[in-house]
Amino acid sequence: MVQEAINGGAEKSQLAITVEQLIAVNPYNPDILPDLENYVNEQVSSQTYNLDANLCLLRLYQFEPERMSTPIVARILVKALMAMPAPDYSLCLFLIPERVQIEEQFKTLNVLSHFLETARFRQFWDEAAKSRHIVEAVSGFEQAIRAYAVHVLSITYQKVPRTILAEAINIEGVSLDKFLEHQASNNGWVIEKGQGKGQLITLPPTEFNHPELKKNTADGVPLEHITRIFPILG
Amino acid sequence: MAAPYEYEEGGYPQQTDAVGYDPNFVPDSVKSFVVHLYRHIREKNVYEIHQMYETSFQTLSERMFKETPGLLLMPLRLTLIMTMSSACFTVRCGSVTCMLDFLLLLDSGLIRGIIIAAFSRFLISVVLHGVVNMQLPNQWLWDMVDEFVYQFQAFCQYRAKMKSKTVEEIALLRQFDQAWNVYGVLNFLQALVEKSTIIQILEREKEGLEEFTATDGYDYSGGSNVLKVLGYFSMIGLLRVHCLLGDYHTGLKCLRPIDITQQGVYTSVIGSHITTIYHYGFANLMLRRYVEAIHEFNKILLYIYKTKQYHQKSPQYEQILKKNEQMYALLAIALSLCPQVKLVEETVNSQLREKYGEKMARMLRYDEEASALYDELFSYACPKFITPSAPSFEEPLVNYNQDAYRLQLKMFLYEVKQQQLLAGVRTYLKVYSTISMGKLANYMDLDEPNLRAVLMTYKHKTHAVDSDGKIISNADVDFYIDEDMVRVVESKSAKKYGDYFLRQIVKLEGIMTDIDRIKLE
């Protein structure tokens, strides 16, 4: 979901179109490696994301380890973290040899990933603050992680205390007021006064924090399954 | 899934002594076999070809082996697949002897790798560039793709064991450094998929414009099934190669044109059916889509349980049993991480309890021993991962054949570790319908911030992202937090009747059509 939100906004660049064509024509072609590397850099600066292209590049590195560029790998991993809750980060790590993963910058990224995977947001933001040089190189990093934190909160909570939200998204005070205001007018958040414990935020209902909403989808039969018996019905 | 090779663990057999064998001599029985096979191929008699392929060749090989010990030390099936593939083409050129040269050369492990590379080039030239006008049994076509991928995997394993290589072997490896090049393998499979236009055929079939699945891929209007079905099986080959490389996302993407919720050509050959589901399930397990993995393992294990008796005489029987056991181990892992036992059919469940019941109980504990069990089951049941890059010939020579496996294992155990407190939460959630955060924290011996993290981890880990980017719940026990209270929701098993009815409607229609055809005297 986060991915779509990021991709949806901008128009596709010429490079993006070219690379997608290259992959479509021949995904197992060592000659497209430089294009894929350029494309990673473009994703970093233009806040776009293409997992397939990045996996394709990691695969080429796997086939020819001597061509691997660790700065590019690090950028791919930061982008993959930003795609959470999707498992992209592990998908990338599965393709990166252990001897590369023990480099310092990758160790840091692994720690960050661990905190996100185990919903330890306070520790995550503390650690991220210590490693600014890695994460700040990629624009939109904080927003993307916030989107993930909000995702985890909203599948867990119907109503979440303000302090807990503040900790998870690492925003406080006036900035948080603004953030809440924005969410209230755009995403249907409701902010109310809790029982003496400060504000309480009602998150929009989903089938995950309101399990009773789930039923409807499970009972349905997809149209394409019905189409199979059209000839019989007709 | 290939035939049961004795050398599966040990790599390639050593060169055997074939002195005393005249390569130009072709026994009459072999001649007559090839002539008959050729006739059946020319007449497009798929049934007879299948018989000769599955049964007669085996009998012939065994007899030949008795007559000339030391000749057919190669796995019979491999010889069969390759010689017959070449035979059916070479016979047309009138040369039978070349196929026996093949046999001799095959006795040497390394040369075999090179020969098979040549064989694949041969296949490329014949299938992709030539006009093939044959109908071959699906079993045979599947074996070609399966054997191709298996040989690639075995070669990578062999090459990665550099320490034990002789000077000659290393010289050969250097000389043929492009043998089984990973780009070549992937491009070969990809080329088969593309040239066969199988993806478009399956699309057209959905719209009712073309028949493929209904005829099991055979072409009854005078054409050939070879390229189409090879292309189809190559998608499964790609899934497997990508799994061997640890690229689960891309593997699943390659398989997407095949709808595995339905029967299809992949189910027409037991080997292809098992290979597909094994790798599909494994990839989903690694992507944390546990319910999907459990679902498919359950279906195939039930199928094997019901049908394995019919395969007892098949050369692949042992391999079927082995994959069966491995998939039970994978199911045990999936169910330990995601205890959705309701999804598992009773027969499968009782088999599972028998094999892994005790281990599964210990795996829930999440201590050192539990971790060792996850390690054991994973190592037993995972694919034989490969490192595709060429070795370094610099001294000192190192073995790197375990690197890929160790990486995947480490990543998997790391995931297990992240989930280690979830079983505890689950236990409490099952006995309460509402519980305050404070009380639950107390029971679990955690402070509230840590409990919150555990609860959110539970939610995150039980809510996977599917291939369309949608969030899907794998939770057996679900809950939500309302300010300070945890409210538990027992997930109801949503039985899908829709699919069942649809299938029955199609079946009934088939029966009605059959009845209509019956003419009463």
- Residues B431 and B325 reside in one and the same domain: no
Which secondary structure element, helix H or strand E, spans residue B434, and what is its range? Answer: strand B434-436
Is B65 part of any domain? Answer: no
CA distance B228 to B201: 9
Measured CA distances, A218 to B273, B336, B376 (Å): 27, 24, 36
- Residues B297 and B362 reside in one and the same domain: yes
Chain B: give the shortest CA distance to residue A225, in Å: 8
Q: Does A215 touch chain B (CB under 8 A)?
A: yes
Q: Does A100 touch chain B (CB under 8 A)?
A: no
Q: Do A85 and B463 touch (CB under 8 A)?
A: yes
Q: Do B418 and A90 touch (CB under 8 A)?
A: no
Structure confidence at residue A11 (pLDDT): 67
Q: Do B480 and A218 touch (CB under 8 A)?
A: no
Q: Which two tokens stand for residue B132?
A: 């093939």
Q: In this complex, which of A86, A97, A119 lies closest to B453 when CB atoms are compared?
A: A119
CA distance A123 to B456: 15
Chain B positions touching A31 (Cβ under 8 A) are none
Q: Which two tokens stand for residue B8?
A: 């599966």
Task: Say if residue A220's pLDDT is above 70.
Answer: no
Q: Which two tokens stand for residue B361?
A: 């109980």
Chain A positions touching B188 (Cβ under 8 A) are none
Q: Do B457 and A51 touch (CB under 8 A)?
A: no
- Residues B407 and B477 reside in one and the same domain: no
Q: In this complex, which of A63, A94, A119 lies closest to B457 when CB atoms are compared?
A: A119
- Residues B371 and B484 reside in one and the same domain: no
CA distance B198 to B192: 9
CA distance B471 to B121: 44
- Residues B389 and B510 reside in one and the same domain: no
The closest of A23, A67, A16 to A43, measured between CA atoms, is A16
Q: Do A211 and B247 touch (CB under 8 A)?
A: no
Is B495 part of any domain? Answer: yes
Is B28 part of any domain? Answer: no
Please give the tally of structural domains in chain B: 2
Contacts 24+ apart (CB under 8 A), B432-435: B432/B486, B432/B488, B433/B487, B433/B488, B434/B485, B434/B486, B434/B487, B434/B488, B435/B485, B435/B486, B435/B488
Structure confidence at residue B132 (pLDDT): 64
Chain B: give the shortest CA distance to residue A13, in Å: 23
- Residues B166 and B293 reside in one and the same domain: yes
Chain A: give the shortest CA distance to residue B414, in Å: 9
Q: Do B465 and A224 touch (CB under 8 A)?
A: no
- Residues B250 and B118 reside in one and the same domain: yes
Boundary of a domain, candidates B400, B415, B430: B415
Structure confidence at residue B81 (pLDDT): 46
Chain A positions touching B407 (Cβ under 8 A) are 94, 97-98
| Chain B interface mutation, best of A1, A155, A230, highest count of B Cβ atoms under 10 Å | A155
Residue type, B317: Y
Q: Do B471 and A86 touch (CB under 8 A)?
A: no
Q: In this complex, which of A94, A219, A229 lies closest to B246 when CB atoms are compared?
A: A94
Hey, what's the torsion of the CAs at B246, B247, B252, B257, to 10 degrees?
-130
Q: Do A94 and B491 touch (CB under 8 A)?
A: no
Tell me how many residue pairs between chain A and chain B have CB atoms under 8 A apart: 153
- Residues B257 and B372 reside in one and the same domain: yes
Q: Do B471 and A155 touch (CB under 8 A)?
A: yes
Q: Which two tokens stand for residue A163?
A: 């302090």
Q: Which two tokens stand for residue B133?
A: 């006008």
Chain B positions touching A215 (Cβ under 8 A) are 494
- Residues B252 and B344 reside in one and the same domain: yes
Q: 0.90 cut: is pTM over it?
A: no
- Residues B407 and B459 reside in one and the same domain: no
- Residue listed under structure tokens 């040239």: B195
Predicted ipTM of the assembly = 0.85
Q: Which two tokens stand for residue A155?
A: 């599948």
> Which of A190 and A110 is assigned the larger pLDDT?
A110
What domain range is B429 assigned to?
421-521
Chain B positions touching A120 (Cβ under 8 A) are 453
The closest of B92, B3, B95 to B39, measured between CA atoms, is B92
Tens-of-pLDDT digits for all 521 residues of chain B? 333 333 333 333 333 444 444 444 556 776 677 777 777 877 778 888 888 877 777 677 667 666 654 444 334 444 444 444 444 433 333 333 333 333 333 444 444 444 455 555 556 555 555 556 677 788 878 887 887 788 778 778 887 887 877 777 777 777 777 767 788 788 888 888 888 888 888 888 888 778 887 788 787 777 778 788 888 999 999 999 999 999 999 999 999 998 888 888 888 888 899 999 999 999 999 999 998 899 999 999 999 998 888 887 777 788 889 999 999 999 999 999 888 888 888 888 888 999 998 998 888 877 788 889 999 999 999 999 998 887 777 767 778 888 889 999 999 999 998 888 888 888 888 888 888 888 888 888 888 888 888 888 998 988 888 877 788 887 778 888 887 888 888 765 555 677 778 778 888 888 988 888 888 76
Q: Which two tokens stand for residue B352?
A: 């599972």
List all residues 6 or more positions away from A195 whose beta carbon is below 8 Å from its beta carbon.
Answer: none
Structure confidence at residue B101 (pLDDT): 37
Q: Do A26 and B190 touch (CB under 8 A)?
A: yes
Boundary of a domain, candidates B415, B450, B475: B415
Q: In this complex, which of B406, B463, B483 lies closest to A155 when CB atoms are compared?
A: B463
Chain A positions touching B411 (Cβ under 8 A) are 90, 93-94
Q: In this complex, which of B206, B452, B502 lies closest to A229 when CB atoms are compared?
A: B502
Chain A: give the shortest CA distance to residue B112, in Å: 23
Boundary of a domain, candidates B383, B399, B415: B415
| Chain B interface mutation, best of A23, A29, A59, highest count of B Cβ atoms under 10 Å | A59
Q: In this complex, which of A86, A94, A219 lies closest to B248 when CB atoms are compared?
A: A94
- Residues B273 and B411 reside in one and the same domain: yes
CA distance B499 to B261: 10
Task: Sketch out chain A's domains with CATH numbers.
Answer: 2-155 (1.25.40.250), 157-234 (1.10.10)
Is B319 part of any domain? Answer: yes
Structure confidence at residue B100 (pLDDT): 35
- Residues B384 and B439 reside in one and the same domain: no
C-beta atoms surrounding B30 within 10 Å: 19
Q: Do B471 and A85 touch (CB under 8 A)?
A: yes
Residues A158-191: pLDDT tens digits? 888 888 888 888 888 888 888 888 888 888 788 8
Chain A: give the shortest CA distance to residue B272, in Å: 24
Which secondary structure element, helix H or strand E, spans residue B477, and what is its range? Answer: strand B477-482
- Residue listed under structure tokens 């070879």: B226
Contact, B269 vs B142, CB < 8 A? Answer: yes
CA B231 to chain centroid, in Å, comes to 16
Chain B positions touching A153 (Cβ under 8 A) are 456
Q: Do A86 and B190 touch (CB under 8 A)?
A: no
Q: In this complex, which of B182, B186, B459 lies closest to A156 when CB atoms are compared?
A: B459
